Amino acid sequence: MSLTTHARGALFALASLAVAGGALAGECVHSDQWGKDDTIGSANLVSPERTLEALKLVKQGKSVPLGIVIGPETPAFAPRSLSLQVVQPNQQGGQKLSAFGYPGNYNDDVLQTWVGIGSQIDGLGHLGEHGYYYNCLDEKEISAITGLTKLGVHDIPPLVGRGVVIDMTKHFGKPHLDAGESFGEEEVKAAAEAQGVEIREGDIVLFYTGWTSAMLESDPKAWVSGEPGLSVSGSRYLAGLNVMAVGADTWGVEPVPPKEGEGAFYGHVVLLQENGIYILETMETKPLVDEGVNEFMFVLGQARIRGTVQMIINPVALY
């Protein structure tokens, strides 16, 4: 199941009619913070000091996965898909592998997949504007068919730091937010303050909207055809706080359809291209909310396939 061609066309038709402020500037700006040659953006915020501070948040010795289980049936942004085959090489007809020195048998797997499916990290080469990506890197120079020549996810160091989760369902007083419902700077500030969450430099900021827990299994087509999310003003606000990553329990973090007057997924441009801040999609934040955890140690070591734009991930929250 995936986003239909009709739905995707409608989405980008909306985007063309509602481009966010700055989208037509046509100029890229090098990173003032990390310099014009930088390629890892906010990952520069990982430090021994922040790691040691995050360790202090592990008080119960508990851990939970932030990634969801995925498979061929997992809905994804079209045309993304996944196919898995389990094979037993050279074991046709019940043959055993005598070369092992005993009658052995084994399974292997063959995976054909887009890596931007399920829980994933968006690298800095994922979304840009006017042909440019983070730090003014030109698509003509980095976007090779065999893999990105710069900004590949394989170059991102382990993202380790303080994670916070903000429960937007609590703020809005409903079990889950609806498709197209957005929250920006004002709502994020109010929700964080009410929940006693202080967003600090270098944080990994995750949101709980209830969308995935309410819709993924019950109505997967609706789940991938729309979503609530962070507005462009919310993305700019978090970027101004110099966070390391922004994520949510939704497949695209931003509202679909987009907020009136904003371009579809323009918050991706704000975070990735303009600020070098990573995006974490389909994060399973419900277990943390259910346990009343609003800050934790976040640890992510993604698969390092050279040149990838995105990657399927399963970060760990320790508390």
Euclidean distance between CA atoms 71 and 68, whole angstroms: 10
User: What's the pLDDT at 201?
Assistant: 98
pLDDT in the model for residue 9: 45
Query: Residue 191's pLDDT band (boundaries 50, 70, 90)?
Result: very high
Do both 96 and 227 map to the same domain?
Answer: no
Looking at residue 167, which CATH number applies to its domain? 3.50.30.50
Judge if 194 and 280 occupy the same domain. yes
pLDDT in tens, 197-217: 999 999 999 999 999 999 999
Q: By C-alpha distance, which of 252, 251, 178 is closest to 210?
A: 178
Residues 63 and 205 in one domain: yes
pLDDT of 18 strictly over 90: no
Alpha-carbon distances of 179 from 3, 226, 232, 287, rounded to whole Å? 14, 5, 16, 22
Q: What angle do CA 293, 70, 92 make, to 5 degrees?
A: 140
Peptide bond into 287 cis (omega under 30): no
140 and 195 in a common domain:
yes
Q: Give the end of a domain, one of 111, 129, 153.
A: 111
Q: What pLDDT is recorded for position 269? A: 97
Model confidence at 315, pLDDT cuts 50, 70, 90, reads very high
pLDDT at 4 over 50: no
91 and 146 share one domain: no
- Enumerate helices (H) and strands (E) in the chain, giving the number of each: 10, 17
pLDDT for res 13 = 41
Q: How distant, in Å, are the alpha carbons of 24, 257, 291, 312 from that of 13?
A: 16, 10, 41, 28
Q: What is the mean pLDDT of the segment spanning 99-111?
A: 90
**Do 34 and 102 fall into the same domain?**
no
Average pLDDT over residues 269-274: 98
pLDDT at 166: 98
pLDDT digits (tens, 9 = 90+) for 79-99: 999 999 999 998 988 888 887
Q: What is the mean pLDDT of residues 164-181?
A: 98
Q: Which amino acid is at 219?
A: D
Q: Is residue 272 located within the same domain as residue 251?
A: yes
Closest CA to 50 of 156, 188, 206, 161: 161
* Band of pLDDT at residue 27, cut at 50, 70 and 90: confident
Same domain, 185 and 204: yes
Q: Does residue 101 sit in the same domain as residue 203? A: no
The whole-number pLDDT of residue 65 equals 98
CA distance 132 to 7: 26
For residue 35, give both structure tokens.
């310099």
Q: In what order do the strands lie in the sheet with 159-167?
A: 63-65, 316-318, 295-300, 159-167, 204-208, 245-248, 278-281, 120-122, 310-312
Domain count for the chain, please give it: 2
User: For 4-26, what is the mean pLDDT?
Assistant: 45
Query: Which residues lie closer than 8 Å to 14 by C-beta, 6 or more apart?
Result: 257, 258, 264
Mean model confidence pLDDT for the chain: 92
pLDDT digits (tens, 9 = 90+) for 33-75: 999 999 999 999 999 999 999 999 999 999 999 999 999 999 9
What does the alpha-carbon distance between residue 303 and residue 153 come to, in Å, rounded to a whole number?
8
Q: Are the C-beta atoms of residues 115 and 310 closer than 8 Å to each other?
A: yes
Dihedral class, residue 177 (left if φ above 0, else alpha if ψ from -120 to 50, else beta): beta
pTM of this prediction?
0.91
pLDDT of residue 26: 63
Q: Are residues 166 and 257 in the same domain?
A: yes
Residues 295 and 236 reside in one and the same domain = yes
Residues 268 and 154 in one domain: yes
* pLDDT surpassing 70 at residue 233: yes
Mean pLDDT, rounded, for 104-131: 96
Domain residues for the domain of 93 are 82-111
pLDDT value, residue 24:
44
Is the predicted pLDDT of residue 1 greater than 90, yes or no?
Answer: no
**Greatest extent of the chain over all pairs of C-alpha atoms, in Å:** 68
pLDDT score, position 92 = 86
pLDDT at 244 over 50: yes
The predicted pLDDT at position 16 comes to: 42
